[in-house]
Amino acid sequence: MSIALNKVTKLIELDFIKKAKSILTGKIEKEDLKNFFRKVIVPLASVVIFIGLWHLGAKALYNIEADYKIEKALSEQGQVAANEMKACIASGDIKCQPNTLPSPAQVLQAFKTLVNDHYIIKADKKAFIEKTASLNAKRLAQGETAIVYTGRPSFVDQIFTSIRNVFAGFLLALVIAIPIGILIGLSKTFRSSVNWLIQIFKPVSPVVWLLLVFMIVKTLFKDSNSDSSFYISFISVGLCGMWATLVNTAVGVSSVDKDYLNVAKVLKLGPFQKIFKVILPSALPLIFTGLRITLSVSWMVLIAIELLAQSPGLGSFVWEEFQSGSIDSNSKIIVAMFVIGGIGFLLDRIMLTIQNMISFNKNEGI
Amino acid sequence: MAYLELKNIYKTYGQGDNVTEVLSNINLTIEEGEFVAIVGFTGSGKTTLVNLINGLLEPTRGEVLFKGEPVVGTSHERGVIFQNYSLLPWLTVGQNVFMAVKVAFPKKSKSELNAIVAEYVAMVNLSHAINKRPKELSGGMRQRVAVARALAMKPEMIIMDEPLGALDALTRGNLQDEILNIWGKDKRTALLITNDVDEGIYMADRIIPLRPGPNATLGPEFKIDIERPRDKTELNDNPNFKKTRNAIIEYLMEIGNERKSEVQKEYALPDLTPKSFVW
């Protein structure tokens, strides 16, 4: 058990857990303490400093905004209105709160609200399904479609939608980029025939990909009832993210060590054996580096695309909150920001773990 | 009919103005069951010569005949032990050998193949490391895996390209004995490329120096008339050994000096004095 735990912590490179464990078990050495200080105390301190600075910054911005509001009331409506505004801001009334960068406390509050909101919506959904169960059974028996819950998705639902989208996009990128990358790496003719395409399309912005995919998907799904927004977002994400994998696969395949190719020749391996037993395994580390970049690019691009295309997910959540302008919407946006960052980090770690398991060089991740 | 025959081999690299002739007018015959060593300076074209014989390269002019047939591409009949081991790092020791055995004997069942793998891995004393990857092995162990891989395919001829060059003296001695053992057991033909004259004398029936490239060509051959099995410690007192060794080294020194004198050129340095010298 403890060996397995060590392996996991080493793999995800959180070996401060190990350090903490050795401190708890009483086996402390000077080196351990030094490491503990560097890997636990220092990061924690930096988090505290970060939150402190954020708090002070938010407070300063709040004051600027409040002063501006009072000033404006004074110049437009006179002293009485200014005094009223001052009192109103001080009282914490919602209708005159300065709208600016939220403080850490507000963000925490918004996070709690969002979680509560999720439970409320979940309960609501459950109640709805129970209520319509018998009716749906009847409708299905009569050959009609069932009634589905069409209420607002909660923040947590949006997270899962986004994760589903990013994985769909990632899979699409993988399915397109790896085979083409292998072909490009193997054949110089094929490489020169598609090189212009790669060079031109690689730097294209996600926004443009979205529009292109929108044009095509809109036409293809004209008659179908299915939700085209899912297709639009994951296809755009796949097309934006696949380039890193494509290029890395091509480089990995075309730069196989000459010694390995000589081995393949001396053993007289057939073309398929040569590709699957020598070329691909040796290119695997580079392919995985590409996949890792693809996944993080996909996640970044997905949020932007959801925001632009108004397809469900964290991106549209952020946009809707920004548009709604309610008192805690700024805080909710910051919550979403942290969640997006956290998930991005997690995805990267998962890929790194897989990469380390597969790679024969056991290279240390960055 | 000679077993392996090289006739007027020329090999050039590059095109147009950048042509370098690495090998010129190489003639060599090896009889079946012979152990021949080729010694030469580094960079004299030894690896090119090996690759011509094993079929990885084609000669620019001339022909390589193996059992009377021209060599086209590689063949399982000629096993190669590379200078830099060339093990596949993602496969274990057993898998590396298995891969070779499988292509050499496509008709055998998996258990038969595994038996061959086990036999040859045991022969190089690596049974304990059969499930390890090359990264976890020392240089000598890796080279032993490469030896096992080449021999497990049961080639008629073993071609070794400085197989022991990167090893320390002790491991080197052990592996020399192991290779000789295997060669002696079923009397295969062997060609050893080396830069170590002592190694050549200890192992081979004939030593042929390769004159340094470009335009490398083979020098006169030296026969080694020392009874097998040879003993390394006794070898030092053997008058035959001393004589041959001195003759070969003398020859190599001579061609080395020749090369130097060819390169030596008077470069007239301009007579310059610094205009101003500020400390």
Q: What is the CATH number of the domain that holds B15?
A: 3.40.50
Is residue A17 classed exposed, middle or buried when 0-12, 13-18 and 19+ CB atoms within 10 A define those classes?
middle
Please give the Cα distance from B193 to B81 (Å, whole number): 10
Q: How far is CA B20 from CA A27, B17, B24, B60, in A?
A: 66, 9, 11, 12
With CA atoms as reference, report the closest residue to A70 among A57, A93, A87, A94. A87
Residue A362 pLDDT level (bands cut at 50, 70, 90): very low
pLDDT score, position B101 = 92
Please give the Cα distance from B148 to B123 (Å, whole number): 8
A172 has a pLDDT exceeding 90: yes
With CA atoms as reference, report the closest residue to A280 among B37, A14, A288. A288
Q: How far is CA A45 from CA A19, A33, A42, A117, B19, in A?
A: 18, 16, 5, 32, 65
CB contact under 8 A, B89 and A273: no
| Main-chain phi, psi angles of A160, to 5 degrees | -70, -35
Higher pLDDT, B244 or A10: B244
The mean pLDDT value for A218-244 works out to: 83
Asked casually if ipTM beats, i.e. exceeds, 0.95, the reply is no
With CA atoms as reference, report the closest residue to B209 among B75, B94, B40. B40
Name the residue range of residue B276's domain.
Answer: 1-77+200-279
- State the pTM of this model: 0.77
Mutation target vs A (from B54, B88, B151; most A CBs, 10 A cutoff)? B88
CB contact under 8 A, B82 and A259: yes
Under 8 Å between Cβ of A132 and A145 = no
Residue B55 within any structural domain of the chain = yes
What are the respective helix, strand and coil percentages of chain B, to the nearest 5? 40, 20, 40
Residue identified by tokens 């799904």 is A221
* Residues in chain A closer than 8 A to B76 (CB atoms): 267-268
A13 has a pLDDT exceeding 70: no
B99 shares contact with chain A (CB less than 8 Å):
yes
The mean pLDDT value for A252-274 works out to: 90
A261 shares contact with chain B (CB less than 8 Å):
no
The mean pLDDT value for B248-263 works out to: 77
Chain region(s) in chain A for CATH 1.10.3720.10: 153-358
pLDDT score, position B274 = 66
Higher pLDDT, B253 or A2: B253
pLDDT in tens, A144-160: 777 777 778 888 888 99
Under 8 Å between Cβ of A98 and A69 = yes
Task: Among A174-183, A201-210, B82-91, B233-242, name the most confident range.
Answer: A174-183
pLDDT score, position A1 = 44
Among B55, B79, B86, select the one facing A259 at the smallest CB separation: B86
For chain B, what is the domain count?
Answer: 1
* Residues in chain B closer than 8 A to A362 (CB atoms): 135
Mutation target vs B (from A257, A266, A272, A357; most B CBs, 10 A cutoff)? A266
Query: Is the dihedral angle over the CA atoms A3, A9, A15, A21 positive or is it negative?
Result: negative
For domain A153-358, the CATH superfamily is MetI-like (1.10.3720.10)
Please give the Cα distance from A166 to A170 (Å, whole number): 6
Residue A163 pLDDT level (bands cut at 50, 70, 90): very high
B80 shares contact with chain A (CB less than 8 Å):
yes
Residue A336 pLDDT level (bands cut at 50, 70, 90): very high
Residue B99 pLDDT level (bands cut at 50, 70, 90): very high
> B25 by DSSP, 3-state: which?
strand
| Main-chain phi, psi angles of B153, to 5 degrees | -80, 0
Please give the Cα distance from B37 to B209 (Å, whole number): 8
Please give the Cα distance from A306 to A213 (Å, whole number): 13
Residue B269 within any structural domain of the chain = yes
Residue B134 within any structural domain of the chain = no
Helices (H), chain A: 2-11, 16-24, 30-36, 42-77, 79-91, 104-141, 155-186, 188-201, 206-220, 228-254, 258-266, 271-273, 280-309, 314-324, 329-358
Q: How many CB pairs under 8 A join A and B?
A: 50
pLDDT in tens, A90-148: 877 777 778 888 889 989 999 999 999 889 988 888 888 888 888 888 888 887 777 77
CB contact under 8 A, B56 and A361: no
pLDDT in tens, B141-197: 888 899 889 888 888 889 998 888 777 788 788 888 888 888 888 778 999 998 888
Residue B258 within any structural domain of the chain = yes
* Residues in chain B closer than 8 A to A278 (CB atoms): 88
Mutation target vs A (from B52, B86, B92; most A CBs, 10 A cutoff)? B86
